[in-house]
């Protein structure tokens, strides 16, 4: 592999996707005949809290009516201070996350400092636009992007659509087939200035109700020790809870439900 060297004026700069194209890699699928209905069976969500944001997602992957994976990862750290959660066709979504992570790190190294949070959201928007031909054929990706804005010192979150539309939300964002149920639960339970623990408790309640109503969203699986992925992003960076810690948050929900809550 030769060293990529460009003359000034013809240099791809900080754009990793352009660098891939210039060196013979096509990062996104191009238009092909026919369609595949890949659905968007998932629930992922982000909730803003005091000093940061909570990002969570279930672990189930389905193909039609079959469960194809029980421990799928749908929440990924994008860099030190942000995360991306995906709903949609798994193959293109995972590839998009990988390129997004590389783009953020590449920019940081070339420029010597990281992109702003809004710059990162715009980058993801560009990648979604690049995936539009695939989305038109049923291979859509609908992510959520959330992070801690080190400049403004607050958590921020963004919702997207398949065309790359980027919408900043103030309180929460949800995506996937269970998003309607999860969104309603968060909407009813949300308060300004929640601590991260309160936001985590609200996130697991939302995920539990989504799994309860939507066959394509997986719930907690204590027999196997598989729990939805829970993460918190603060000034200190991205932190994903261990399975034990997630189990404890779900145990709190279990106490609440068995005490005559709204779960029945």
Partner 1 sequence: MSMPGMYVSPEQVMQDRADYARKGIARGRSLVALEYSDGVALVAENASATLRKVSEIYDRIAFGGVGRYNEFDQLRIAGVRHAELKGFQYSRENVDARSLANQYAQMLGQIFTHEMKPLEVEIVVAEIGHGDTGSELYRIQYDGTVVDEQNFSCIGGDAESVLERLREGFDSGLDRDGAIRLAVGALAGADRELVADELEVAVLEAAIGRRCFQRLDDSAVGAILS
Which residues are catalytically annotated?
A: 42
Taking CA atoms, 32 is separated from 136, 138, 163, 177, 243, in Å, by 10, 11, 18, 26, 40
Asked if 109 touches partner 1 (CB under 8 A), the answer is: yes
Nearest approach, Cβ of residue 43 and partner 1 (Å): 29
Asked if 4 touches partner 1 (CB under 8 A), the answer is: yes
* Residue with Cβ nearer partner 1 (78 or 87): 78
Nearest approach, Cβ of residue 5 and partner 1 (Å): 5
Asked if 110 touches partner 1 (CB under 8 A), the answer is: yes
Nearest approach, Cβ of residue 21 and partner 1 (Å): 12
Asked if 150 touches partner 1 (CB under 8 A), the answer is: no
Asked if 112 touches partner 1 (CB under 8 A), the answer is: yes
* Residue with Cβ nearer partner 1 (26 or 255): 26
Asked if 9 touches partner 1 (CB under 8 A), the answer is: no
**246: helix, coil or strand?**
helix
Asked if 225 touches partner 1 (CB under 8 A), the answer is: no
Asked if 16 touches partner 1 (CB under 8 A), the answer is: yes
Over the window 18 to 47, marking each residue x when it contacts partner 1 by CB under 8 A and - when it does not, the resulting string is -xx--x-x----------------------
Asked if 70 touches partner 1 (CB under 8 A), the answer is: no
* Residue with Cβ nearer partner 1 (12 or 138): 12
At residue 69, φ and ψ (nearest 5 deg) are -145, 140
Asked if 66 touches partner 1 (CB under 8 A), the answer is: no
What CA–CA distance (Å, rounded) separates 171 from 187? 9
What residues pair up with 239 in beta bridges, in sequence order? 232
Per CB under 8 A, the list member of 39, 50, 106, 163 interacting with partner 1 is: 106
What CA–CA distance (Å, rounded) separates 109 from 127? 20
Name which of 60, 59, 57 is nearest 43 in CA terms: 57
Asked if 94 touches partner 1 (CB under 8 A), the answer is: no
Name which of 37, 39, 62, 64 is nearest 137 in CA terms: 37
What CA–CA distance (Å, rounded) separates 163 from 136? 9
What CA–CA distance (Å, rounded) separates 158 from 144? 6
Those residues with Cβ within 8 angstroms of residue 259's Cβ, 6 or more apart along the chain or in another chain: none
Asked if 3 touches partner 1 (CB under 8 A), the answer is: yes
Q: Which residues of 235-260 are buried (b: 16+ CB within 10 A; e: fewer)?
A: eeebebbeeeebbebbeebbeeeeee
Nearest approach, Cβ of residue 79 and partner 1 (Å): 10
Residues that bind partner 1 in the complex, under the rule CB under 8 A: 1-5, 16, 19-20, 23, 25, 102, 105-106, 109-110, 112
């Amino acid at each position: 592999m030769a060293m990529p060297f460009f003359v000034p004026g013809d240099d791809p700069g900080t754009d990793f996707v352009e660098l891939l194209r210039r060196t013979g890699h096509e990062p996104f699928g191009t238009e092909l005949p026919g369609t595949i209905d890949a659905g968007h069976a998932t629930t992922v969500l982000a909730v803003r809290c005091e000093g940061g944001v909570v990002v969570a997602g279930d672990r189930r992957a389905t193909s039609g009516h079959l469960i194809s994976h029980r421990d799928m990862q749908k929440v990924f750290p994008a860099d030190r201070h942000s995360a991306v959660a995906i709903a949609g066709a798994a193959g293109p979504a995972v590839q998009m996350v990988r390129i997004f992570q590389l783009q953020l790190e590449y920019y940081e190294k070339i420029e010597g400092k990281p992109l702003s949070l809004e710059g990162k959201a715009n980058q993801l928007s560009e990648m979604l636009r690049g995936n539009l031909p695939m989305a038109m054929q049923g291979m859509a990706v609908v992510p959520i992007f959330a992070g801690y804005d080190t400049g403004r010192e607050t958590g921020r979150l963004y919702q997207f659509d398949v065309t790359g539309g980027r919408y900043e939300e103030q309180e929460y964002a949800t995506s996937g087939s269970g998003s309607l149920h999860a969104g309603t639960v968060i909407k009813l339970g949300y308060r300004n200035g929640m601590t991260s623990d309160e936001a985590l408790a609200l996130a697991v309640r939302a995920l539990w109700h989504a799994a309860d109503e939507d066959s394509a969203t997986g719930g907690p699986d204590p027999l196997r020790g598989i729990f939805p992925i829970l993460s918190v992003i603060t000034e200190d960076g991205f932190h994903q809870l261990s399975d034990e810690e997630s189990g404890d948050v779900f145990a709190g929900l279990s106490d609440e439900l068995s005490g005559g809550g709204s779960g029945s």
